[in-house]
Amino acid sequence: MVQIQLLGITPEQLQTAIIEGVKLQLNDLKKHFEPKTPDELLTRLEVSKMLKIDLSSVHNWTKKGILKANQIGGRVYYKRSEVEGAIVELKQ
């Protein structure tokens, strides 16, 4: 076992230095931290209502690759973030 001796520093100064170092690291983490939120899953009907289109358009856009579908069992779902990401700005 290795022993480290600190000379010229009081226990209180050591404690303060450690606390300040930890605070700096935590503040840095807070700046870059983005909590992961679960992606909301939408049914075909919810997507059609959201985009104000027919169910057939949702099906066609999925076949064309405009919308990305996900399947769980026999159910088809769309991630809200991917549906919103499929909406592109028109350049005029």
Number of folded domains in the chain?
Answer: 1
Domain annotation covers residue 62? yes
Radius of gyration for the chain, computed over Cα atoms and rounded to the nearest angstrom: 27
Domain that holds residue 53: 41-86
Question: Rounded to an integer, what distance in angstroms lies between the CA atom of residue 2 and that of residue 4?
Answer: 7
| pLDDT average, residue stretch 81-89 | 90
pLDDT band at 75 (very low <50, low <70, confident <90, very high): very high
Instruction: Tell me: pLDDT of 9 over 90.
Output: no
pLDDT class for 8, splitting at 50, 70, 90?
confident
87 C-beta neighbours (distance < 10 Å), count:
7
Nearest CA-CA partner of 76 in 64, 59, 57: 59
Task: Give pLDDT, residue 91.
Answer: 83
In this structure, is residue 48 part of a structural domain?
yes
What's the confidence (pLDDT) of residue 7? Answer: 78
Residue 12 within a domain: no
Q: Is residue 65 part of a domain?
A: yes
Edge-to-edge strands, sheet with 75-79: 41-42, 75-79, 70-72
